[in-house]
Amino acid sequence: MNTINKSGFNLLKLVFFLCVCISVVYADSSSFNRKPLFASGQDGYDTYRIPSIIATSKGTVLAVCEGRKEGVSDTGDIDLILKRSEDSAKTWSETKLIWSDGNNTCGNPCLVENKKTGTIFLFSTWNLGSDHEREILKGQSKDTRRVYYLKSSDEGKTWSKPVEITKDSKKEYWKWYATGPGVGIQLEYGLYKGRLVIPANHSYIGPEGNVFGSHVIYSDDNGQSWNLSDSILPGLNESQVVELIDGKLLMNMRNYRYRGSRGLAFSTNGGQSWPYTAFKSNLIEPRCQAAILRYSPNEQNTKSCILFCNPESITQRVKMTVKMSFDEAKTWPVSKTVYEGPSAYSCMAVLPDNRICCFFESGKKNPYERIELAVFTLDWLKDGNESKR
């Protein structure tokens, strides 16, 4: 082979190699990619925390979180902010301010869409910025935690003024209160179909100190009025809820009673009462918020598929992991790590193109350096697990 032919042959080999590399990178990026949406120090905020994300019926993705101006504290000068995507989370808008009240706290975002009307609700809690969490817990604060919602009828482009519903959703003796954080749901089955259900948590002062509990608020009239459920006690806190195929509701909760395990509760009446509680489960946690979501790629899909994510550790907020159940959250045979490092609160959504997104707090030194978005396919999640379906 002469020199020219050898050169041509080597060039063809190089082109082929580059094509293979490009195809591998494209395949990897299309099945899994991860990027920060909010990073500490940007846009005038010291820290971003408490992610909430939904994909609307019309295909818009809304990512909401807290913008904290005074560090990682849960109180102080905190705003609610938003980014929107209209192309299945490929590109995002600039950061938009939703709610700011001077130096006060506007936080704990919890999104839900009323699919009957297209209205999007954003639930939140408010307190004086000068009232610290320890003072609120002890009942020594100047004011109290108050409950609000904002709503949007144009896919999150504009939002109403906050509407206070504290009297309907909080008992007078409760001290701390938080909506979600994460998302609410609208029921799809049985007698309570159409009901809007918002998970929340609270505290009160008992004989031996602070008592933590979970509950929901719910509406059967498209959000015109709200009702308060029975409490789930004791020692249960930040919660997310999923509807099971048989119409029961499963509440998945942060657990102060038994360290290292998620708490569970079940309702047979659309969330009004929760008589069945388990303080130990097969899901571990380091005492942290978590996310749970039903994955339903289309109406014809009859297989049960529920997703769960949290830091998979008993002692540390690290290793953000997504799990999948095929038997209504009884077992979790599929498990895959999204991020190995420090990670904390999370929220999930199913995108219009049927990919899954995990919106979660993360960092290199601590979990509160950024909130990033991991987007992946169902096949990526199943890959490497023994139980594929």
In a domain, 300, yes or no: yes
- Give the tokens for residue 321: 């992991």
Q: What is the predicted pLDDT for the residue at 11?
A: 44
In a domain, 3, yes or no: no
In a domain, 84, yes or no: no
Domain housing 371 = 285-388
User: Which residue, among 321, 336, 375, has the nearest Cα to 85 in the 3D structure?
Assistant: 375
Phi then psi dihedrals of residue 197, to 5 deg: -125, 125
In a domain, 197, yes or no: no
CB atoms within 10 A of CB 297: 14
Please give the chain's pLDDT, 389 residues, in tens: 444 444 444 544 443 434 433 333 333 446 999 999 999 999 999 999 999 999 999 999 999 999 999 999 999 999 999 999 999 999 999 999 999 999 999 999 999 999 999 999 999 999 999 999 999 999 999 999 999 999 999 999 999 999 999 999 999 999 999 999 999 999 998 899 999 999 999 999 999 899 999 999 999 999 999 999 999 999 999 999 999 999 999 999 999 999 999 999 999 999 999 999 999 999 999 999 999 999 976 554 557 899 999 999 999 999 999 999 999 999 999 999 999 999 999 999 999 999 999 999 999 999 999 999 999 999 999 986 644 43
d(CA 132, CA 16): 62
pLDDT tens digits along 56-115? 999 999 999 999 999 999 999 999 999 999 999 999 999 999 999 999 999 999 999 999
Cβ proximity of 258 and 285 under 8 Å? no
Q: Which residues contact 36 (CB under 8 A, 6 or more apart)?
A: 370, 371, 372, 373
In a domain, 11, yes or no: no
pLDDT tens digits along 216-239? 999 999 999 999 999 999 999 999
In a domain, 376, yes or no: yes
- Give the tokens for residue 116: 């009957």
d(CA 46, CA 42): 7
For tokens 């598929």, the residue is 305
Number of domains in the chain: 1
3-state helix, strand, coil in the chain (%, to 5): 10, 45, 45
d(CA 259, CA 250): 20
Q: What is the predicted pLDDT for the residue at 26?
A: 34
User: What is the pTM assigned to this prediction?
Assistant: 0.90
d(CA 134, CA 127): 13
